[in-house]
Amino acid sequence: MEWRDDALIIGARRHGETSVILELMTRGHGRHLGLVRGGRSRRLRPILQPGNLVDALWRARLEDHLGALTIEPRAARAAHFLDRAAALNGVASLCALLRLLPERDPHAELFDMADAIAARLCDIHGLDVGAVMMARFELALLGALGFGLDLNACALTGARDDLAYVSPKSGRAVSRVAGAPWRDRLLPYPDFLQRENTGAAQADLIAAFRLTGYFLTRDVLNPRGVALPASRDLYIGALLRAA
């Protein structure tokens, strides 16, 4: 068994004296693990860092084996994260969320979104754009995990315009007029999540992360007995301080 794929490194753990078990998010093979012999060497250690984009070659005798990975660098980003709290916590949160996906379940769209976010986090002037991308990624992740929100039309009237809220019970959108009497019980639905290529004010970013965080916690994390990664709160806090 053998394949080669673009991969985003999301974690590594020590295995024996010199090797590591590397965790990747690949474009065509989903979240995948493999053994990197010599992964703790001086040459490979800087490459096998979260957020780096690599070319991965996986080989195994049988498909369900752990397999061995050969890694070649494509984009070395990790060094750009170290001196910026928002970037460092952003990539840590991104990797933690990718681990929610089942192993070996392909999600090419999520890979492309995650890779674009990791690239954007390298840019000190791109934090706001990266946050917009991160919020959209979390919304897409809910859908990939089977808990997508129904945000195309108002749950009360069927209207498709001026959607302003999301019901925390049903996960369905609600228009501004129809939801006005219950707005204190509803979650805001920021405009930038409804349209591509639009920026977001600070308040809208906070509302977006509140929205996705609520449903990730309720539908994905609580049933598993875990919480949102601490790095996510640190990332949002660093964004607010930077703003």
CATH class of 2-76: mainly beta
User: Tell me: the pLDDT tens digits for 30-39?
Assistant: 999 999 999 9
What is the predicted pLDDT for the residue at 25? 98
What is the predicted pLDDT for the residue at 125? 64
Assess contact for 31 and 98: CB atoms under 8 A. yes
User: Tell me: the pLDDT tens digits for 128-145?
Assistant: 889 999 999 999 999 999
User: Tell me: the pLDDT tens digits for 61-119?
Assistant: 999 999 999 999 999 998 888 878 889 999 999 999 999 999 999 999 999 999 999 99
Number of neighbours of residue 15 by Cβ within 10 angstroms: 16
Domain ranges of the chain: 2-76, 79-151+189-242
Global confidence as pTM: 0.94
pLDDT classification of 209: cutoffs 50, 70, 90 = very high
Look at residue 175 and tell me whether its pLDDT is greater than 70.
yes
39 half-sphere exposure, CB direction, 13 A CA radius: 22
As given in the structure block, the two tokens for residue 210 are: 């509140």
Give the chain's mean pLDDT: 94
